[in-house]
Amino acid sequence: MKASFHTLGCKLNYAETAALERQFKERGFDIVPFTEHSDVCVINTCSVTERADREARQIVRRALRTSPSAFVAVIGCYAQLDPEVIASIDGVDIVLGASEKFRMFDYTTTFQKLTAPKVFVSPIETVNDFGPAFSGGVDDRTRAFLKVQDGCDFSCSFCTIPLARGESRSQSIEACVTQARQLVAMGYKEIILTGVNVGDFGKKEDSSFLNLLRKLNTVDGIERIRVSSIEPNLLNDELIDFWLLSEKICNHFHIPLQNGTNEILRMMRRRYTSEYYHGLIHSIRDKSPNAGIGVDVIVGFPGENEELFRKNFDFVHKLPISYLHVFTYSERPNTPSINFDGRIEPRVRYSHSDQLRVLGQMKRTVFYRSQKDFVRPVLIEGEIENNMLSGYTDNYVRVRVPYHPSLENSIAMVRIGDVQDDVCNGEIVNMKSSQTIINPLLPIINSATL
């Protein structure tokens, strides 16, 4: 039988989809692209915005157009939060919540279409399992996800994640290390640590994310460790210093901001101030002038009038960061912010989002240009386009180089050239040596370049 998968949302969702794909492969299924005919279609959903909900419904219908007789399974956050809505979509066969999504083979073995959908969703307060962490590849060959944490104990006023995934929980450091070794044995060069709130790792087990990094840093064969995202209030000098001194941990931070004004941060129930965030980013930039630094921003939160938006925009504009992920605020059921005063009209939200996305593109271009003539390690992926291969530097710059079969799934030292179509052209200097070559100029990126 053939199975296809479609993932919406965060890197954690992608990690869990990869784990599910492994389950199907182990049972003899052929995994095919979602655009091809398949016998089983698995859709892993997100529910962070209303748009994500709408897209999930569209994906279900698209699957049924491609494979009208396919068994359709819908899992993930939207499945946990609104199972009956999903079950009402014609063609859906099974809906699995947070505790059930990894036990699909307990609920069906034949994968024959049903006359009525089955719904298996446990109350979120009972969700405390971790599920498989060892997941396999982002791109099947070079980079792999390792889920180390799930759930969240924070109470941001706009967020449905605690409602969809439950309380924060982690697997043991020993299990993480064992799974990392398995991924190395499979040939992966980079391991991406994922979770809802990875910085919260181990807190309930009297451990810490720093302890996890220290252990993974000693695993033979791991060439690169990348952290998907970490909350600003969970970064401290000890963690940052270890991160930057490690030869394996990528010189790349993704640190959600959400808003650059204290007024909105308080309403969001975020656990830091704009002053703290400003100091954190500048501290990282001072210690590592070429670090890649990504930022999440939410636009259109209740109360973000034109004055506060301009203040937010200016705050982000002045930050020495590398790129932005911009999200348009969406009212989510059962979150406190849905009842807040000062609702922003949708057309204003989208206009403001567009402005920040333009700023984000400028930030990325400026950062990419600042890396010209640097020689940095690039993990070359096996994607051939116009006789070129591409990959990411340790500090998350996309680079392409002329194709050569020996380069695939290898780390090469690449001299970075001009930016073209949001990718830097590169020239191979040599295969990875024991010491990274760095441009001695070490330019510092700042708002003046914009």
Digit-by-digit pLDDT tens for the chain (450 residues) are 999 999 988 888 888 998 899 899 999 999 999 999 999 999 999 887 777 778 888 898 899 899 999 999 999 998 999 999 899 988 899 999 988 999 999 999 899 999 899 999 998 887 777 776 655 554 556 889 999 999 999 999 999 999 999 999 999 999 999 999 999 998 899 999 999 999 999 998 889 999 999 999 999 999 999 999 999 999 999 999 999 999 999 999 999 999 999 999 999 999 999 999 999 999 999 999 999 999 999 999 999 999 999 999 999 999 999 999 999 999 999 999 999 999 999 999 999 999 999 999 999 999 999 999 999 999 998 777 888 999 999 999 999 999 988 888 899 999 999 999 899 999 999 755 433 444 433 333 334 344
On whether the 2-126 domain is CATH 3.40.50.12160, my answer is: yes
Domain regions of the chain by residue span: 2-126, 130-250, 252-370, 375-449
| Helix, strand, or coil (residue 224) | strand
What fold, for 252-370?
Transcription Regulator spoIIAA (3.30.750)
Instruction: Flag whether the pTM goes above 0.85.
Output: yes
At residue 255's C-alpha, the angle toward residues 401 and 13, to 5°, is 75
* The two structure tokens encoding residue 156: 């941001």
Amino acid code (one letter) for 385:
E
CATH number for domain 130-250, candidates 3.30.750.210, 3.30.420.10, 3.40.50.720, 3.40.50.300: 3.30.750.210
pLDDT of residue 151: 93
CATH code: domain 375-449 is 2.40.50
Name all contacts of 272-279 with Cβ < 8 Å and 24+ positions apart.
272/232, 272/233, 274/315, 276/232, 276/233, 277/232, 278/315, 278/319
| Contact call for residues 168 and 221 (beta carbons, < 8 A) | no
- Same CATH fold assignment for domains 2-126 and 252-370: no
Helix (H), strand (E), coil (C) string for 37-72: CCCEEEEEECCCCHHHHHHHHHHHHHHHHHCCCCEE
Separation CA 327–CA 268 (nearest Å): 14
| Helix, strand, or coil (residue 285) | helix
Terminal Cα-to-Cα distance of the chain (whole angstroms): 53
Q: Tokens 């402005």: give the residue.
A: 355
